Chains A and B, each alone.
Chain A
Amino acid sequence: MLVVVCDHKSGVLTSNSLEALSFGEDLARNGGKDLVALVPGGLQDHSLQSYRLRSVFTFPFSGDHATAEEYLAALLLLAQRSSPECIIFSYNSLGKALGGQLAIRLNAGLISNVCGFEWVDGRALFKKSVFSGKAYAWCAFQSETGLVAILPKAYGINQGQSEQVPEYIDLGPLAPDSRMLVVERTMSSGKTPLTEADVVVSGGRGLKDPANWGMVESLAELLHAGTACSRPVADAGWRPHHEHVGQTGTAIRPKVYIAIGISGAIQHLAGVNNSRTIIVINKDPEAPFFKAADYGVCGDLFEVVPKLIQALQNGQ
């Protein structure tokens, strides 16, 4: 049996959960295994039904969102009851709080940042992204239970076909670790988190001044994109720290990454080079970013970007 750990926001499954479900569905189908899901109570999303799930286990939680401690308690209970072969979850911030703890508590191997799998001689091998995506390690479990922590945005979401209605089973009251108290949650309003954005528009020191960020934001809005920046931009306080992408900031892998006035230093690339398509706007033909790009515009951003915005607006 394989378990997929899911999360939902106001009753709707998160995209990271859909990625994990898709991974689980493919792994279960290839290996001829049963698939079940674990979800905090209150899910209203019917998309769960399209993933060939045998059962859905739910658990109660206090507060407005299940904490990592509540997930942990639910998973330990579920594992005790049904000894799953694999527990599959997104390696987002929730997954990072859970993974290592589960590994010890269940004496299970943990393979993190998984972006694919293959079956070889009846055994699953998992493809782990290492060196910020500059290499992959194919790994195997030597333990009875394996923890598969999926790299966010690396696995495609299945457009489910199945109409199999799973059986819902409530795990009942849990006794989560209560030594740590959540006193406040601040959700960044409205916007999709950077790690979940399909399109990201990012600005570097080439923009010269925080006052020039209007065009980055306009372009982002027209493309329904998130906004990001290089490290010196965040360090100078031009943009908030959570927008800093790169080796020491957030690592992202959107479908499209548009870099404006960013040189493409190796530490920056480490956080963005797994984007499916990279578009670079830079006036320096020698900027290293062009080597990592799919499309490049060599020109002055103060001319190119406003013209681009104009053209997009005209096209609407």
Chain B
Amino acid sequence: MKILVCLSKTADTTARIAFDAAGVKFSEEGVQFILNPYDEWYALVRAIELRDAQGGQVDVVHVGSAASDMLIRKALAIGADAAFRIDDPEPDTRSVAEQIARFAASRGYDLIFTGKETIDYNSSEVGAMLAAALNLPFVSLCSKLDFSDGTLRCTTDIEGGTQMVELRPPAVLSAAKGLAEQRIPNMKGIIDAKKKPLEVLPAEAGSALVTVVRYELPQEKMGVKMIAPDDVQELVNVFKNDLKLI
């Protein structure tokens, strides 16, 4: 099985959210970037498990600058075989999908994974775009995946429940929680990762169809109103009068 896992970098949740003076650009100063957890914990690990069970290879691809190479090496340390970085320092969502689609089009992948969303911009767009650009079926929000007799059986999240779908590869899947268990790279993995290939490819960006005019921070909360623990009636009053719950 030939598998591609798309990796995104994302600001760590604890990052301070601030923008430049004009309010048009996220200020990266002092922000720590990590591999997007959905890509690393679920997509990558399930891809490695499938390869180990079926044979084949796991490639990872990232669209970004050399600053991400450390993160890409982490994916190699966890167990990917080869890495590709498309050298575009500031791609927008659509151009990430388009550039990965161009990269993947001629390489014959059976499965292409993305995470369900990045934890910073939460857009959840790239997987579906990739599927359409490559004219492949799209398994959205996949939380369980089995492969046997040439058929993929996937459990996916739908409104108010789950569904099981069956299809034959090739396909694009977005990985949701439950697909695999997070793995921590071990010493051998880290050493091996240094010897694995990381190929850098030139960017070929398209034009953006969406532009950000400005960013804005939400209003601060008013502050907490404390209620004494022995005064549950006060809480009941809040439920009744302020929140109209009862």
Interface residues of A (CB under 8 A from B): 7, 9, 14, 16, 68, 91-94, 96-105, 107-113, 125, 127, 129-143, 177, 179-188, 192-193, 196, 199, 222-224, 241, 244, 247-249, 251, 255-256, 266-267, 270, 277, 279-280, 290-300, 303-304, 307-308, 310-312, 315
Contact = CB atoms under 8 A, between A and B. Distances in A.
Nearest to A290: B224
Interface stretch (B43-51, B114-122, B186-194): B114-122
Place the interface of chain B in its size category.
Answer: 35 or more
Do most interface residues of chain B lie in helix, strand or loop, or is the interface mixed?
mixed
Interface of B: 11, 13-14, 17, 19, 37-38, 41, 93-94, 97, 116, 119-133, 137-141, 153, 156-168, 171, 174, 177-178, 207-218, 221-222, 224-230, 232-233, 235-236, 238-240, 242-243, 245-246
Choose among B120, B141, B158 the residue with the greatest number of A CB atoms under 10 Å from its CB. B158
A113 B159 contact: no
Choose among A135, A139, A140, A223 the residue with the greatest number of B CB atoms under 10 Å from its CB. A135
Nearest to A224: B245
Given A181-B167, A266-B14, A136 B139 contact: no
A292 B141 contact: no
A244 B159 CA distance: 16
Contact of B224 (A110, A186, A199, A291): A291
Nearest to A191: B160
A177 B140 contact: no
A275 B91 CA distance: 32
A140 B163 contact: no
A235 B165 CA distance: 26
Nearest to A107: B209
Given A93-B140, A93-B158, A113-B123, A101 B245 contact: no
A180 B221 contact: no
Nearest to A179: B137
B161 A135 contact: no
A296 B226 contact: yes
A131 to B, nearest CB: 5
A143 B235 CA distance: 50
A97 B137 contact: no
B124 A105 contact: no
B125 A112 contact: yes
Contacts of B159: 7, 14, 16, 92-94, 193
- Ranked nearest first, the 6 interchain pairs of A and B with the lowest CB-CB distance are A299-B229, A100-B128, A109-B209, A104-B132, A97-B140, A187-B161
Contact of A277 (B93, B141, B167, B243): B243
